[in-house]
Amino acid sequence: MWVVYVIGFILAAGVYVAYLSITIPGAAAVACVVYAVGMPGAYLTGLGKVLATRPPELPAPQRWPKPPANGDPALLQYFYGPALADADHAVRIAYGNCRKFWEFGTEHVRDSFHADSATWFTAPLGVGGAVGMALGTAAGALITAVFALIHLVVVAVSAALVRVFGTALRAADTSMLWVKNVRMVCPNCYERVPYPAYDCPNDACNHRHRDVRPGPQGIIGRRCLCGTRMSTLLLFGSSRMAAFCPHPGCEHSLEYRPGEAPEIVLPFFGATGAGKTRLLFSMVTQLQAWTDKGQLTAEFGDSSTARELDIASSVMRTGSSTTGTSVELPRANVIRLIAKKGTRILQLYDAAGERFYNTDRTQELRYLNKARTFILVIDPLSVESFWQQLPAATQAELGSVRSAAPSPDLAYQQTHQQIEAMGVQLRKVRLAVVFSRADLIGVPDGDVAEWARDELGLGNLIRSTTQNFKETRYFRTAAIMAADGLMHKSIAELMVWLMAREGVDLPVELPGVTS
């Protein structure tokens, strides 16, 4: 009988060993495959949740980049921080998923050793599963690491390309401004504007962006914190947004859409009552007359200019006198000039004559070192020797309009020294010397410089202007309007000379003057 038991035991042992030889490797193989595939799968699922599906139950990322210090109220560009934060977020989500997956496996392995009556049956599965889990986890971790590395490579390459693209765009925009000779100047604080600041185009938002150019907060466009999309470059139409001076303390509105066209800074200087404002009004009236005839388009660049110069043509038409200019720092009168050869922004600075008598007041006129052409206005009647030559009847008639200011030499010397002190090389700039009131004293033919030297006794001034400046031209202007609404031809002659080097083709042909 015992032989039967022995044979039965041997048979049972053989069957169990066969069972072990099948189940342990089998369970190990299955567990290994499940974990080797499951872990990368868990990572890709996490990546999909973070980057694509964004389910509501997705936990918030633990790390998120802070906006740059002193940055604008705009979102960070995705590849300037958020992309890496998303990579970190995906790894954390995947780690959480893998941990649950691992705990699920270890729980089943543990249970396999505690099955009350069937431990002999389940334990081999647990042993195989544990071995398979270990091998599968090692393989899965390796594959997951490769996947995560691929993700990081994609982010790194994209971030590098975005930076290169942003730099190229910025360079293209700067080059475009350089080629178009666009150098912006704030009409209010006289500082160079490297790039205008812009208000968010959303009327309900009051965020101001100081530097919209491609950078950490956007390449082609940027998004204001309110959600509104903004252009980053003049190339992409940022000039359509409301512009402001970016300099702290100024931040004045730049209504004239800076950046679209070259700016021409034209400072008027000369003694009090020399006729600077009247000359300015004459030039504006002449531009309006050309506009009315459809020969060009001149429009006020901002509301401040419109308020100041709206009366110019009526003053010229009626012949009434202009009011004295305030001694406060002047704000440029901005005029957009659209001619055949392109558009220009004229910035006309008309400071009170009192500002040109002492250094302190003149050096506040920091726009002087932004100009390439200056206009010195001289009232011939203010020259004492010339005044004394006039008949008594003429003196009585013109006494009321004569400038009582000191000699024109003083304002010229003061300003010319200040312009030099501001670092301007006079040999690179032009000067128009304008003798006003030609309508009152007559406009004799002949060389104006010679007349000024001989009749006015301004030899020293003429010599100095001729020697110091790259190009000096002398004009006699009459601020009177003809019946056809055009100003006296001397105004057009002056304007053609002023604009000639700026590439503006004014609709007038004058002998000896090319535009």
CA-closest candidate to residue 30, choices 135, 100, 132: 132
Q: Using the minimum distance from each CB to another protein, give the nearer residue, 86 or 199.
A: 86
Contact range with another protein by CB under 8 A, out of 81-89, 331-339, 403-411, 448-456: 81-89
Q: Using the minimum distance from each CB to another protein, give the nearer residue, 227 or 459.
A: 227
Interaction between residue 145 and another protein (CB under 8 A): no
Interaction between residue 153 and another protein (CB under 8 A): yes
Do the strands 229-231 and 221-223 form a parallel or antiparallel pair, or are they unpaired?
antiparallel
Q: Kindly determine how many residues on this chain lie close enough to bind another protein according to the rule CB under 8 A.
A: 25
What crossing angle do the helices spanning 119-179 and 82-112 adopt, rounded to 10°? 180
Q: Using the minimum distance from each CB to another protein, give the nearer residue, 207 or 453.
A: 207
Interaction between residue 226 and another protein (CB under 8 A): yes
Interaction between residue 25 and another protein (CB under 8 A): no
> In whole angstroms, how close is the CB of 82 to another protein at the nearest point?
6
> In whole angstroms, how close is the CB of 154 to another protein at the nearest point?
5
Cα–Cα distance, 230 to 221 (Å, whole number): 6
Residues in CB range of 354: below 8 A, 6 or more apart: 272, 327, 361
> In whole angstroms, how close is the CB of 77 to another protein at the nearest point?
9
Contact range with another protein by CB under 8 A, out of 74-82, 96-104, 288-296, 306-314: 74-82
Helix (H, G, I), strand (E, B) or coil at 139: helix
Contact range with another protein by CB under 8 A, out of 146-154, 274-282, 378-386, 415-423: 146-154
CA distance readout (Å), 52 to 45, 57, 58, 158:
10, 14, 11, 17
Whether residue 43 contacts residue 149, with contact meaning beta carbons closer than 8 Å, is answered with: no
Q: Which of 25, 82, 342, 503 binds another protein (CB under 8 A)?
A: 82
Interaction between residue 168 and another protein (CB under 8 A): no
Between CA 279 and CA 288, with CA 285 as vertex, the angle to 5 degrees is 145
> In whole angstroms, how close is the CB of 88 to another protein at the nearest point?
13
Contact range with another protein by CB under 8 A, out of 80-88, 131-139, 409-417, 480-488: 80-88
Q: Which of 12, 15, 22, 146 binds another protein (CB under 8 A)?
A: 146
Whether residue 375 contacts residue 269, with contact meaning beta carbons closer than 8 Å, is answered with: yes
Q: Which of 20, 115, 155, 422 binds another protein (CB under 8 A)?
A: 155
Q: Using the minimum distance from each CB to another protein, give the nearer residue, 91 or 496.
A: 91
Interaction between residue 164 and another protein (CB under 8 A): no
Q: Which of residues 41-60 bind another protein (CB under 8 A)?
A: 44, 47-48, 50-52, 54
CA distance readout (Å), 482 to 235, 285, 316, 383, 475:
43, 11, 10, 28, 19
Do the strands 333-339 and 342-350 form a parallel or antiparallel pair, or are they unpaired?
antiparallel
- Phi and psi angles of residue 458, each rounded to the nearest 5 degrees, phi first: -100, 40
CA distance readout (Å), 267 to 277, 333, 432:
11, 10, 10
Q: Using the minimum distance from each CB to another protein, give the nearer residue, 199 or 263.
A: 199
> In whole angstroms, how close is the CB of 436 to another protein at the nearest point?
59
Between CA 235 and CA 238, with CA 237 as vertex, the angle to 5 degrees is 100
Whether residue 482 contacts residue 466, with contact meaning beta carbons closer than 8 Å, is answered with: no
Q: Using the minimum distance from each CB to another protein, give the nearer residue, 133 or 230.
A: 230
> In whole angstroms, how close is the CB of 143 to another protein at the nearest point?
10
Q: Which of 79, 195, 367, 497 binds another protein (CB under 8 A)?
A: 79
Interaction between residue 147 and another protein (CB under 8 A): yes
CA-closest candidate to residue 125, choices 267, 269, 27: 27
Q: Which of 20, 30, 78, 102 binds another protein (CB under 8 A)?
A: 78
Interaction between residue 498 and another protein (CB under 8 A): no
E strand or H helix that includes residue 387 = helix 384-389
Q: Where on the phi/psi map is residue 428: left (φ > 0), alpha (ψ -120 to 50), or beta? A: alpha
Interaction between residue 75 and another protein (CB under 8 A): yes
CA-closest candidate to residue 283, choices 293, 294, 298, 261: 298
> In whole angstroms, how close is the CB of 203 to another protein at the nearest point?
17
Query: What burial letters (b/e) apply to 170-190, b meaning 16+ CB within 10 Å?
Result: beebeeebeeeebebbbbbbb
Contact range with another protein by CB under 8 A, out of 106-114, 223-231, 319-327, 500-508: 223-231
Q: Using the minimum distance from each CB to another protein, give the nearer residue, 79 or 497.
A: 79
List of residues contacting another protein (CB under 8 A): 44, 47-48, 50-52, 54, 75, 78-79, 82-83, 86, 146-147, 150-151, 153-155, 158, 223, 225-227
